């Protein structure tokens, strides 16, 4: 299996693929959740309800990881390990960007507006300490 270059890894991260984020529970076990994400610079950003398990875990332990993979041959994947932080600044704009990224302009804007009314969102930002990817080829 060959490694992806940094550019190839970020190209894959930039696609609207469901990813899985992992945070650490207080007892030390991982908590994994499928999420939508966007890349902001080198960071990976997801929207979370500020009272969610993910948010509570990050407040107690900033270690986090995100994995994204394709459901096609070759089965490429990228793993981002890093330090997570929560932020309230710019939530509406980034939540809209995430929704549009996955749903398209019209549906994404409508979805993000409804989500902002229904939930107390924060941004979970993972600043990578490592980004590794593999091409799935033998």
Predicted structure pTM score? 0.93
Tokens at residue 72, please?
A: 């096609």
pLDDT number for residue 72: 87
Tokens at residue 77, please?
A: 């994947």
pLDDT number for residue 138: 60
All structural domains of the chain: 6-134 (2.30.110.10)
pLDDT number for residue 1: 63
Long-range pairs for 72-76 at CB < 8 Å and ≥24 separation? 73/136, 74/135, 74/136, 74/137, 75/136, 76/4, 76/8, 76/12, 76/133, 76/134, 76/135, 76/136
Q: Is 76 helix (H, G, I), strand (E, B) or coil?
A: coil
Query: Going residue by residue through the chain (138 aa), what tens digit of pLDDT does each one get?
Result: 689 999 999 999 999 999 999 999 999 999 999 999 999 999 999 999 999 999 999 999 999 999 999 988 889 999 999 999 999 999 999 999 999 999 999 999 999 999 999 999 999 999 999 999 998 776
């Amino acid at each position: 299996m060959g490694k992806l270059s940094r550019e190839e890894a970020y190209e894959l991260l930039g696609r609207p693929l469901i990813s899985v984020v992992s945070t650490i529970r207080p007892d030390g076990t991982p908590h994994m959740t499928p999420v939508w994400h966007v890349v902001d610079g080198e960071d990976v950003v997801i929207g979370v309800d500020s009272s969610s398990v993910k948010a509570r875990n990050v407040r107690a332990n900033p270690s986090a990881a995100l994995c994204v993979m394709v459901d096609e041959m070759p089965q490429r994947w990228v793993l981002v390990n890093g330090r997570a932080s929560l932020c309230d600044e710019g939530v509406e704009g980034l939540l809209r960007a995430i929704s549009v990224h996955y749903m398209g302009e019209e549906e994404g804007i409508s979805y993000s507006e409804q989500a902002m009314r229904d939930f107390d969102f924060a941004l979970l930002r993972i600043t990578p300490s490592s980004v590794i990817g593999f091409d799935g080829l033998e």
